[in-house]
Amino acid sequence: MNICLFLSGFALGVFSNLFANLFTNLFTNYFKQILNLIYNKSKPKTKSKFLKINFICKITDKQLFDEYFPKFRNKSAPRTQPYWNYNEGVIKFEIDKQIDNPISFEYLLEDLDLPLFESFGKIYLFIDYNNLINIYLPESTINLTDFDKRETELSKKYNNLICATFKCKTSDIYITSYFKKFFNNTIDLTPELLLLGYDKNIKQFNNLILIDKYENFSFKLNEKINFF
Protein backbone atom coordinates (compact mmCIF):
# COMPACT_ATOMS: atom_id res chain seq x y z
CA MET A 1 0.00 0.00 0.00
CA ASN A 2 2.84 2.35 0.83
CA ILE A 3 4.48 1.50 -2.50
CA CYS A 4 1.27 2.43 -4.38
CA LEU A 5 1.03 5.73 -2.52
CA PHE A 6 4.70 6.41 -3.26
CA LEU A 7 4.28 5.67 -6.97
CA SER A 8 1.11 7.76 -7.14
CA GLY A 9 2.81 10.65 -5.42
CA PHE A 10 5.88 10.33 -7.62
CA ALA A 11 3.77 10.31 -10.81
CA LEU A 12 1.74 13.26 -9.59
CA GLY A 13 4.91 15.20 -8.83
CA VAL A 14 6.42 14.46 -12.26
CA PHE A 15 3.24 15.51 -14.10
CA SER A 16 2.91 18.58 -11.87
CA ASN A 17 6.46 19.67 -12.74
CA LEU A 18 5.90 19.02 -16.44
CA PHE A 19 2.66 20.99 -16.39
CA ALA A 20 4.27 23.82 -14.41
CA ASN A 21 7.21 24.04 -16.84
CA LEU A 22 4.87 23.96 -19.85
CA PHE A 23 2.67 26.68 -18.36
CA THR A 24 5.74 28.79 -17.51
CA ASN A 25 7.15 28.49 -21.05
CA LEU A 26 3.81 29.32 -22.63
CA PHE A 27 3.32 32.32 -20.35
CA THR A 28 6.90 33.54 -20.93
CA ASN A 29 6.55 33.31 -24.73
CA TYR A 30 3.17 35.04 -24.61
CA PHE A 31 4.58 37.79 -22.38
CA LYS A 32 7.50 38.31 -24.78
CA GLN A 33 5.10 38.63 -27.71
CA ILE A 34 3.12 41.26 -25.80
CA LEU A 35 6.30 43.22 -25.01
CA ASN A 36 7.48 43.02 -28.63
CA LEU A 37 4.10 44.24 -29.85
CA ILE A 38 4.19 47.20 -27.45
CA TYR A 39 7.78 48.02 -28.46
CA ASN A 40 7.08 47.88 -32.19
CA LYS A 41 4.03 50.11 -31.76
CA SER A 42 5.91 52.68 -29.68
CA LYS A 43 9.25 52.93 -31.53
CA PRO A 44 9.62 55.64 -34.20
CA LYS A 45 9.01 54.45 -37.71
CA THR A 46 11.77 54.91 -40.25
CA LYS A 47 10.74 57.21 -43.05
CA SER A 48 10.31 55.35 -46.29
CA LYS A 49 11.17 57.57 -49.22
CA PHE A 50 12.30 56.87 -52.74
CA LEU A 51 15.52 58.80 -53.33
CA LYS A 52 17.31 59.02 -56.65
CA ILE A 53 20.83 60.24 -55.93
CA ASN A 54 22.82 61.78 -58.80
CA PHE A 55 26.46 62.78 -58.57
CA ILE A 56 27.32 65.76 -60.77
CA CYS A 57 30.72 67.24 -61.56
CA LYS A 58 31.00 70.47 -63.51
CA ILE A 59 34.38 70.48 -65.27
CA THR A 60 36.25 73.73 -64.58
CA ASP A 61 39.79 72.68 -65.55
CA LYS A 62 39.37 71.25 -69.04
CA GLN A 63 43.10 70.86 -69.62
CA LEU A 64 43.56 68.67 -66.55
CA PHE A 65 40.41 66.71 -67.38
CA ASP A 66 41.80 66.04 -70.89
CA GLU A 67 45.00 64.71 -69.33
CA TYR A 68 43.06 62.24 -67.20
CA PHE A 69 40.59 61.35 -69.95
CA PRO A 70 42.18 62.00 -73.36
CA LYS A 71 40.09 62.00 -76.51
CA PHE A 72 40.23 58.93 -78.72
CA ARG A 73 40.51 59.00 -82.48
CA ASN A 74 37.50 56.72 -82.54
CA LYS A 75 34.79 59.17 -81.50
CA SER A 76 32.39 56.34 -80.65
CA ALA A 77 34.77 55.00 -77.96
CA PRO A 78 33.70 55.93 -74.41
CA ARG A 79 35.96 58.68 -73.11
CA THR A 80 35.11 58.18 -69.45
CA GLN A 81 33.75 55.30 -67.39
CA PRO A 82 30.93 53.47 -69.22
CA TYR A 83 28.34 54.28 -66.54
CA TRP A 84 29.20 57.99 -66.55
CA ASN A 85 27.03 60.35 -68.54
CA TYR A 86 29.53 62.88 -69.90
CA ASN A 87 28.26 65.76 -72.00
CA GLU A 88 28.96 69.46 -72.48
CA GLY A 89 31.57 69.63 -69.71
CA VAL A 90 29.39 67.89 -67.12
CA ILE A 91 29.76 64.40 -65.63
CA LYS A 92 26.63 62.84 -64.20
CA PHE A 93 25.86 59.37 -62.84
CA GLU A 94 23.56 57.77 -60.30
CA ILE A 95 24.69 56.66 -56.83
CA ASP A 96 23.15 53.36 -55.76
CA LYS A 97 22.85 53.92 -52.01
CA GLN A 98 20.16 54.40 -49.38
CA ILE A 99 20.03 57.14 -46.74
CA ASP A 100 18.68 55.89 -43.39
CA ASN A 101 20.40 58.29 -40.99
CA PRO A 102 22.12 61.69 -41.13
CA ILE A 103 25.17 61.29 -43.32
CA SER A 104 27.87 63.60 -44.62
CA PHE A 105 28.43 64.25 -48.31
CA GLU A 106 31.89 62.66 -48.19
CA TYR A 107 30.80 59.58 -46.23
CA LEU A 108 27.93 58.91 -48.63
CA LEU A 109 30.42 59.06 -51.52
CA GLU A 110 33.26 57.23 -49.78
CA ASP A 111 33.54 54.79 -52.70
CA LEU A 112 34.41 57.62 -55.12
CA ASP A 113 37.76 59.32 -55.57
CA LEU A 114 36.43 62.77 -54.65
CA PRO A 115 39.88 64.50 -54.72
CA LEU A 116 40.19 63.39 -58.36
CA PHE A 117 36.88 65.00 -59.33
CA GLU A 118 37.60 68.12 -57.29
CA SER A 119 40.98 68.53 -59.01
CA PHE A 120 39.27 69.36 -62.31
CA GLY A 121 35.74 70.40 -61.33
CA LYS A 122 33.05 71.34 -58.83
CA ILE A 123 30.99 68.50 -57.37
CA TYR A 124 27.36 68.31 -56.25
CA LEU A 125 24.65 65.86 -55.29
CA PHE A 126 21.18 66.22 -56.82
CA ILE A 127 18.67 64.09 -54.90
CA ASP A 128 15.26 63.55 -56.51
CA TYR A 129 12.25 62.61 -54.33
CA ASN A 130 8.49 63.15 -54.45
CA ASN A 131 8.79 65.38 -57.53
CA LEU A 132 11.30 67.60 -55.70
CA ILE A 133 15.08 68.01 -55.99
CA ASN A 134 17.58 68.94 -53.25
CA ILE A 135 21.10 70.06 -54.11
CA TYR A 136 23.98 69.28 -51.73
CA LEU A 137 27.52 70.66 -51.60
CA PRO A 138 30.67 68.85 -50.34
CA GLU A 139 30.33 70.43 -46.89
CA SER A 140 26.70 69.35 -46.55
CA THR A 141 25.15 66.88 -44.13
CA ILE A 142 22.12 65.04 -45.49
CA ASN A 143 19.20 64.40 -43.13
CA LEU A 144 15.96 62.52 -43.74
CA THR A 145 14.07 65.59 -42.53
CA ASP A 146 15.42 67.42 -45.59
CA PHE A 147 12.92 65.45 -47.64
CA ASP A 148 9.86 66.65 -45.75
CA LYS A 149 8.03 69.29 -47.76
CA ARG A 150 8.41 72.64 -46.02
CA GLU A 151 8.18 76.35 -46.54
CA THR A 152 11.49 77.93 -47.56
CA GLU A 153 12.61 81.41 -48.52
CA LEU A 154 12.60 80.24 -52.14
CA SER A 155 9.05 78.87 -52.03
CA LYS A 156 7.79 82.01 -50.27
CA LYS A 157 9.47 84.33 -52.74
CA TYR A 158 8.06 82.54 -55.79
CA ASN A 159 4.78 81.36 -54.32
CA ASN A 160 2.91 83.18 -57.10
CA LEU A 161 5.15 81.97 -59.92
CA ILE A 162 3.42 81.80 -63.29
CA CYS A 163 6.27 80.99 -65.66
CA ALA A 164 9.99 80.18 -65.60
CA THR A 165 12.00 80.33 -68.83
CA PHE A 166 15.57 79.72 -69.90
CA LYS A 167 16.25 82.43 -72.51
CA CYS A 168 18.72 81.25 -75.13
CA LYS A 169 19.90 82.65 -78.47
CA THR A 170 18.25 79.85 -80.40
CA SER A 171 14.96 79.44 -78.51
CA ASP A 172 13.13 79.81 -75.21
CA ILE A 173 12.86 76.76 -72.94
CA TYR A 174 9.99 76.74 -70.45
CA ILE A 175 10.94 75.11 -67.15
CA THR A 176 8.16 76.15 -64.75
CA SER A 177 7.53 72.64 -63.39
CA TYR A 178 11.25 71.90 -63.26
CA PHE A 179 11.97 75.13 -61.37
CA LYS A 180 9.31 74.38 -58.74
CA LYS A 181 11.06 71.09 -57.94
CA PHE A 182 13.75 73.11 -56.16
CA PHE A 183 11.41 74.90 -53.74
CA ASN A 184 12.58 72.73 -50.80
CA ASN A 185 16.18 73.97 -51.06
CA THR A 186 17.75 76.29 -48.51
CA ILE A 187 21.12 76.79 -50.27
CA ASP A 188 21.73 79.64 -52.70
CA LEU A 189 20.56 78.63 -56.16
CA THR A 190 21.74 80.02 -59.49
CA PRO A 191 20.61 79.37 -63.09
CA GLU A 192 23.88 77.49 -63.58
CA LEU A 193 22.98 75.00 -60.81
CA LEU A 194 19.56 74.44 -62.38
CA LEU A 195 21.20 73.85 -65.76
CA LEU A 196 23.54 71.21 -64.32
CA GLY A 197 20.61 69.00 -63.39
CA TYR A 198 18.57 69.64 -66.51
CA ASP A 199 18.44 66.60 -68.81
CA LYS A 200 18.51 68.54 -72.07
CA ASN A 201 21.59 70.28 -73.39
CA ILE A 202 21.19 74.05 -73.35
CA LYS A 203 23.62 76.12 -75.40
CA GLN A 204 24.10 79.87 -75.59
CA PHE A 205 22.26 80.61 -72.37
CA ASN A 206 21.34 84.27 -71.92
CA ASN A 207 19.33 84.49 -68.70
CA LEU A 208 16.58 82.98 -66.58
CA ILE A 209 13.26 84.80 -66.55
CA LEU A 210 10.78 84.27 -63.70
CA ILE A 211 7.30 85.75 -63.99
CA ASP A 212 4.77 85.94 -61.17
CA LYS A 213 1.52 87.84 -60.62
CA TYR A 214 3.24 91.06 -59.63
CA GLU A 215 6.64 91.37 -61.32
CA ASN A 216 9.29 89.78 -63.53
CA PHE A 217 12.76 88.66 -62.45
CA SER A 218 15.81 88.21 -64.66
CA PHE A 219 18.95 86.34 -63.58
CA LYS A 220 22.28 85.83 -65.29
CA LEU A 221 24.16 82.53 -65.10
CA ASN A 222 25.71 82.95 -61.63
CA GLU A 223 23.23 85.30 -59.96
CA LYS A 224 21.48 84.06 -56.83
CA ILE A 225 17.85 83.23 -57.53
CA ASN A 226 16.76 83.30 -53.89
CA PHE A 227 18.70 86.44 -52.99
CA PHE A 228 16.75 89.08 -51.03
pLDDT mean for each 10 residues of the chain (228 residues): 50 51 50 46 48 96 94 76 88 93 95 96 97 96 94 92 93 94 95 91 88 92 82
What distance lies between CA 41 and its chain's CA centroid? Answer: 27
DSSP bridge partners of 103: 142
pLDDT attached to residue 42:
43
Contact in structure between 136 and 146 (CB atoms under 8 Å):
no
CB atoms within 10 A of CB 66: 13
DSSP letters spanning 105-137 = HHHHTTTS-HHHHHHHEEEEEEEEETTEEEEE-
pLDDT for res 34: 52
Residues near 158 by Cβ (< 8 Å), separated by ≥ 6? 179, 183, 210, 212
Residue ranges of the domains in the chain? 46-148, 150-228
